[in-house]
Amino acid sequence: MSTFPNSPKLLKGGIVLIDAENGRVARIISLQYNPESLTRSLQVQAAGGEGGNRSEAMRFKGPAVETIKLEADIDAADQLEFPDQHRATVEFGIQPQLALLESLAHPTSAQLIRMNSEASSGTLEISPMEAPLMLFVWGKSRVVPVRLTDFSITEEAFDPTLNPIRAKVSIGLRVLSVDDLGFSHRGGSLFMSYLQTKEKLASKAQRGNFSSLGIGGI
């Protein structure tokens, strides 16, 4: 418990998995420690492209493609101080947390078995396996649908039975827009809310003036 009762509550970033059809929350994954930095990049979707038609130079063909990169630390030290309360950590180290994050990168074993069964039975058309809708949550103003693009783990310390007890996880995400999901999809609606929130925040920024640019006008 904090020694400062009036200190603000520290919110954690994380990932929420939901069923895109009914909106049911399947899993909430909160980061143990918030990363000290978060890298975002936006690739502009210009209609004309580089060196394209001059008549299209001022036109967008869709929202920018946004990618997010972060590094999260996972450490068993706090749990190992109280082994009676964290038996799983004593037995497996941080493997359960790592396994949970790794599960975002591939289909479930049940999905693979079902696809193999359909292929063996001669099913002509086998649909690709569908993942839950993944939402990246970084405060109340940034709740956005994403797709995992890359994921790496660096295990940095181990217990005597070689269970990892400290690791650094690198996560790459691509924001899914209405171009990817459509307006009727639940994720498309969440993207539009995310975009509209950005527009509201932009309206609160202080307006500039010509004098600050060293000119009298244009």
Judged by average pLDDT, the poorest of 71-75, 92-96, 111-115, 188-192 is 111-115
Q: Which of 11-25, 74-88, 112-126, 170-184 has the highest mean pLDDT?
A: 170-184
Summarised one tens digit per residue, pLDDT across range 86-99 is 788 889 999 999 99
Helix (H, G, I), strand (E, B) or coil at 168: strand
Q: How far is CA 155 from CA 148, 170, 185, in A?
A: 20, 11, 38
Q: What is the pLDDT of residue 157?
A: 94
Closest to 172 (Cα-Cα) out of 69, 23, 95:
69
Summarised one tens digit per residue, pLDDT across range 121-159 is 887 677 787 889 999 999 999 999 999 999 999 999 999
Instruction: Compute φ and ψ for 32, nearest 5 degrees.
Output: -65, -45
Query: Domain locations in the chain?
Result: 14-46+60-105+132-199
Share of the chain above pLDDT 90, in %: 66
Q: Is the pLDDT of residue 67 over 90?
A: yes
Cβ atoms of residues 155 and 167 within 8 Å: yes
Tokens linked to 127? 């649909």
Dihedral sign, CA of 52, 56, 62, 64? positive
Q: What is the pLDDT of residue 52?
A: 60
Tokens linked to 28? 């909430």
Task: Tell me the pLDDT band of 1, cut-offs 50, 70 and 90.
Answer: very low
What is this structure's pTM? 0.85
